[in-house]
Amino acid sequence: MKLEENSNNTKVFALGGLGEIGKNMYCVMHNDELIIIDAGIMFPEDELLGIDYVIPDFSFLKENESKIKGLFITHGHEDHIGGIPFLLQQINIPTIFAPRMAIELIKKKIEEKKINYKKLITIDDNTKIKFKYFDIDFFATTHSIPDSYGIALKTPNGVIVETGDFKFDLTPIGPIADLHKMARIGEKGVKLLMSDSTNALICGMSPSESVVDEALKDIFQNENLNRIIIATFASNVYRLKHIIETCKKYNRKICLFGRSMENYVEIAIETGLVKESDIFVTPEVANTLKPYEVCLLCTGSQGEPLAALSRIANGTHKQIKLIPKDIVIFSSSPIPGNNQSISKTINQLYLKGVKVYTSSLDSDIHASGHGSSEELKLMIRLFNPEYFMPVHGEYRMLKAHGDLGIACGIPKENIFILQNGDVLEIGNKIKKTESIPVEDIYIDGKRVGDIGNVVIRDRKIMANEGILVVIYTVDYKNNNIVKTNIITRGFILVNENEELISSIEHLATSLLKNKLSKRNMNYNDLKSDIIAELSPFIYNKTGRKPIILPVIMNIKKEIE
């Protein structure tokens, strides 16, 4: 689809990130120039069986490839950079502009995918980039990963600001957000603000990362004789930094578990954020140290079955076994939908006799990297936009953020709660016009985009109802069915349902015998007819609808 070019209007739309958490991708277009902001992935819901990631639909970008001037990255989290390898495999991106840590993470990603791409330019808050229609500036924000920036785009129709992910932490572990620059941009006039909505439903201010630092130090001090195991998000690099510094203060070595944990720590060392590289030991060395001399830092804070902490909890980890008086710290908050798996892991830990710390009203061992309602209001006040478009969040979050905009004096008619693909057109006025067709693209192993709803539906049926295979051996020359076998998986136990299996075999045989007596039978029609007649019979007998697969062996080509 191509949007109208011969227009003095500027167009803004999202290919991902609206009505969802993840796969952030926002676009600003004026005539023949197109700017892309972020290219993330989204992790699949439980019902997307076998799917590894969900990425934005790049179809519009492919059709408008010649207009793309660059991809601009706000920070290095997966929901903002995870889609880059898939994007580069399909679209020619002239240049990727990204902060320092994001650059290093992107390099690792494209190396793993064996993509030869060198057009990476590092940006900071002093970087200025100019195109025919766009002047682009950056401002530092505070987030849970270093080198996080918002983007200000000066267009022929006014300034558009996209905040990226942010919080306002007045006592951060790293640099403080550049409130002065934000205010200066706001003073000059902002036409449209696009702002992170993740924690719009949470009142007040998010806790400072320095509060978490103090809470963790208290645990280290109180549990100074025991082995400490900490599970946190590997991408929360500032958290990793002060855990490492705390371990150094209390003379503990650190053993890392989880590939993503190792990658982020490696990049933190390479970029100079972490300087204590001699503090890390191998699992073999960790097992020789006294409990108070070691800290295990691992993935699995969300109860992921294959993550390090889950395997430690259920006793299947090959290198680490729990010991009495171990201390396990969940330095994270549950992602919606993960509460059950986290509870399972915590219960397993308690059954092993260990002490577990989780974030609660009594223990500030986690702080979100996203601002709560008062911080979102502050961002609106700093930029004082004429129009407001909440981004990065589920619909309820976008709606709540829109209400905060109204509370801050933005007229209700100037606030736009949009869906992916909706086009906001900025001219003398601003209004929603057309919509770009977009859909989720599923990544299943190495396959991209060919996993449709039919495949997902079949996987759900197989998971819930099972599968039944009817195998015919046919001597077509004599018009004779030699044998009919029934094989089931996830449907019923054959040994306990011999009478039912026998009746299915008998009906299946009768169905094929009747079909073989007809001339000009098409093979696909034959299978469809067998499925159509067996399915209601099986449902009446069992109340279930398994996937039925007829397999006809030794059948001659005359009926194909």
Which pair of tokens denotes residue 257? 């578990």
CB-count burial class (<10 Å; 0-12, 13-18, 19+) for 221: exposed
Residue 459 lies in a domain: no
Is there a single domain that holds both residue 542 and residue 470? yes
Distances in Å between the alpha carbon of 243 and those of 133, 210, 342, 550? Answer: 45, 12, 22, 58
Is there a single domain that holds both residue 22 and residue 117? yes
Residue 527 lies in a domain: yes
Is there a single domain that holds both residue 346 and residue 372? no
Residue 162 lies in a domain: yes
Residues 6+ apart with CB under 8 A from 305: 341
Is there a single domain that holds both residue 292 and residue 391? no
State the total domains in the chain.
3
Per-position DSSP letters for 368-405, written without gaps between them = -SS--HHHHHHHHHHH--SEEEEESB-HHHHHHHHHHH
In whole angstroms, give the CA distance from residue 141 to residue 379.
11
Is there a single domain that holds both residue 350 and residue 377? no
In whole angstroms, give the CA distance from residue 189 to residue 545.
61
Q: Which residues are 553's β-sheet partners?
A: 473
Is there a single domain that holds both residue 37 and residue 186? yes
Residue 5 lies in a domain: no
When pLDDT is cut at 50, 70 and 90, the band that residue 507 belongs to is confident
Is there a single domain that holds both residue 439 and residue 305? no
pLDDT tens column, 383-436: 999 999 999 999 999 999 999 999 999 999 999 999 999 999 999 889 998 899
pLDDT tens column, 295-320: 999 988 887 776 888 888 888 888 88
pLDDT of residue 560: 42
Residue 542, domain CATH: 3.10.20.580
Domain boundary among 332, 358, 384: 358
CB-count burial class (<10 Å; 0-12, 13-18, 19+) for 496: exposed
Which pair of tokens denotes residue 436? 């770009």
Residue 429 lies in a domain: yes
Domain boundary among 413, 448, 483: 448
Is there a single domain that holds both residue 190 and residue 315? no
Is there a single domain that holds both residue 387 and residue 494? no
Is there a single domain that holds both residue 379 and residue 309? no
Residue 73, domain CATH: 3.60.15.10
172-181 burial, b at 16+ Cβ within 10 Å, e below that, comes to: bbbeebbbeb
Residue 453 lies in a domain: no
What phi, psi does 528 have (nearest 5°)?
Answer: -60, -40
pLDDT tens column, 193-245: 999 999 999 999 998 988 888 888 999 998 888 999 999 988 889 899 989 99
pLDDT tens column, 457-477: 666 667 777 888 988 888 766
pTM value is 0.80
Is there a single domain that holds both residue 264 and residue 198? no
Residue 280, domain CATH: 3.40.50.10710
* 137: containing domain: 10-204+368-448
Domain boundary among 336, 358, 380: 358
Is there a single domain that holds both residue 39 and residue 129? yes
Distances in Å between the alpha carbon of 311 and those of 295, 298, 334, 349, 422? Answer: 17, 11, 18, 11, 44
pLDDT tens column, 371-394: 999 999 999 999 999 999 999 999
Residue 193 lies in a domain: yes
Residue 78 lies in a domain: yes
